[in-house]
Structure 1
Amino acid sequence: MNLALHNQQQCLDQLGTAVASLGSDAFYPALCQAFTCFAEVSDLLFLYFPDQQRPQCLYSNLANEDQYALQVSSYINGPYIFDPYYQASLKGAANGAYRLKDIAPDNFKKTEFFRHYYKATHVNDEVSYITALPNNQHLHFSISHAQPSKLFSVKTLGVFYSLSHIITELLSKHWLLQDASSRPSNNEQPDKPNLNQALQQALKQFGSTLLTPREHDVLQLVLHGHSNKAAAERMSISLSTVKLHRKRIYQKLDISSQAELFYLFIDALSSAKASDSGDPLQAYMNVS
């Protein structure tokens, strides 16, 4: 039996343990164990996305506190809104396994989110099982490659994809079988503004008071990592028109790069009040 088949058999054996653990606290560790049979796999995360709230980490195999702070804590405190997996869930992606390179915008690796999150965490290849839960909630089971410079092999990816229906069904079934008291509670305090809603609103409105509607559409696509060509295709306009819009955006905002645009958004967020529902850039410009 070759190594790939041996690893696959080990994985299937461990999945039996996960099935036996459905509804209990042992489920996530057991499911992790099934995937650590593959030498290519390192970091494993289970992220829960409540409706209209920031995510929570349900379980991870990250033993190092610095790793956890970088890969989890920093992620859930804001940057997750730029995550292609999160955006895919918002858009109603079907349950299944998704590879980062296949769902990310074409210019994603040039975004500041990629540079400060994926590059900083040394994650070069990632597969995530996206599972929809009742009431607009989602679970993401993220699997990262053990070596930053390597990609998952075709055989390993084949196993991941072949298990897609099984894994998402297990995640869904476990959620339903858990005792209600064992499920994660809402992470927002009743007397505090909802961070997720504030971030989503700020992103949606960013630049809307200073730009034309078309320029604002281009800005949104650029922030999420789409190239000029991809933006032109999505907006059904010519490439030259997108370039002109982008040039005018940079002129109006007094910036010269996509990196500066990202940091302008971050700076504008820091100036906006949590109760604001308008363009955070307007408040920032008034203070600057």
Structure 2
Amino acid sequence: MQLSAYESLPVLIDSIGKLEFYEKVIDSIRVIQQIKSCIVFSYAPNSAPISIISDNVIRSDLDNEYCQSAYLLDPFYEWICNRQASGFISLRDIVRQDFERSTYYDEFYHKLGWSNETNFVIGSINDRIIALSFTTESKNLSHISLELLPFFNSVKAAIHTHESINRSFTPLEKVVSNQPKTDKIKTILCHFNLTPREQEITQLILEGHSSAIISSLCFVSEGTIKNHRKSIYRKLGIKSQGELFKRFI
């Protein structure tokens, strides 16, 4: 198990500074067999979290719901923003035994279908806190924390390096000022952490294609395209296709 996880690190390290970096973070973590699902979040005190990437596009509606309102009830959000610590923290470490009777569980958490949750908190980077949130097949997570701590510390170092590189880039306004329009759009989408697939779909939307046409061009279902749209709108801070056109056209 550990060997496979460590073997994924060279690919992750090679992606530092590139658009697909956080996809490789997810790929590396999912190599660990016990981990069933993983999301990368960016947190900041007094601000809504950002779902950078999830390994489950179908769950994007829940990710949107969490980032729009449910996070306000999440004990992890309060713990991460107030403590600003790093390392492993599991849900059972910070909630009471009656968690399943809490408002957060009743109104949101049960929809995830997660029997447990652990966050590996990367720490404060560029005034935000990156956290890797995942669930496992086993309720006992201690063996994963102990055995794979060096692996997760390597992922942490890669994320710090990636974010440091991004921070050292020329300000976005100066980068796009002299670019052709298509390149400007691509640069702006990169800035908002859209995945390569989300960028492709955004370009197709801006070209005037419907969700039905885009689904055939991308060889996925129309429902998947609609879920991508929701994720794109959330990351860009907009609510409609009209706002998307207003921003880029």
Offset, 1:74: 1.1
Given candidates 156, 165, 183, the residue that maps to 1:177 is 165
Q: Decide whether the 8 Å contact of 1:96 with 1:131 is kept in 2.
A: yes
Give the match for residue 66 of structure 2.
75
TM-score, normalised with respect to structure 1: 0.54
- Of structures 1 and 2, the larger Rg is shown by 1
Q: Decide whether the 8 Å contact of 2:12 with 2:21 is kept in 1.
A: yes
> Is residue 163 of structure 1 aligned with residue 151 of structure 2?
yes
Q: Percentage identity across aligned positions?
A: 14
Question: Whole-Å Cα distance in 2 between the matches of residues 106 and 136 of structure 1?
Answer: 33
Per-residue CA shift, 1:131-184, capped at 9, x if unaligned?
Answer: 233454111111112x4xx42454333234443433333222221112465443
Question: Whole-Å Cα distance in 2 between the matches of residues 171 and 157 of structure 1?
Answer: 19
Change (3 A) 1:63 1:129: same
Given candidates 90, 104, 109, the residue that maps to 1:99 is 90
Superposed CA RMSD? 2.5
Letter in 2 for 1:21: S
Structure 2: unaligned runs, 5 residues or longer:
173-189, 194-234, 239-249
Question: Whole-Å Cα distance in 2 between the matches of residues 82 and 97 of structure 1?
Answer: 20
> Is residue 113 of structure 1 aligned with residue 91 of structure 2?
no
Give the match for residue 58 of structure 1.
52
Offset, 1:51: 4.8
Question: Whole-Å Cα distance in 2 between the matches of residues 13 and 172 of structure 1?
Answer: 20
How many residue pairs align between the two structures?
Answer: 177
Question: Whole-Å Cα distance in 2 between the matches of residues 20 and 135 of structure 1?
Answer: 22
Q: Decide whether the 8 Å contact of 1:47 with 1:140 is kept in 2.
A: yes
Given candidates 69, 87, 112, the residue that maps to 2:78 is 87
Given candidates 13, 26, 36, the residue that maps to 1:32 is 26
TM-score, normalised with respect to structure 2: 0.62
| Residue correspondence of structure 1 range 188-227 to structure 2 within 5 A | none
Question: Whole-Å Cα distance in 2 between the matches of residues 24 and 83 of structure 1?
Answer: 31
Change (3 A) 1:177 1:141: same
> Is residue 41 of structure 1 aligned with residue 15 of structure 2?
no
SS of 1:125's partner is coil
Change (3 A) 1:177 1:105: farther
Question: Whole-Å Cα distance in 2 between the matches of residues 34 and 127 of structure 1?
Answer: 16
Give the match for residue 247 of structure 2.
none
Given candidates 132, 142, 148, the residue that maps to 1:141 is 132
Give the match for residue 285 of structure 1.
none
Question: Whole-Å Cα distance in 2 between the matches of residues 151 and 76 of structure 1?
Answer: 26
Change (3 A) 1:39 1:134: closer
Greater Cα offset, 77-86 or 125-134: 125-134
Question: Whole-Å Cα distance in 2 between the matches of residues 14 and 101 of structure 1?
Answer: 29
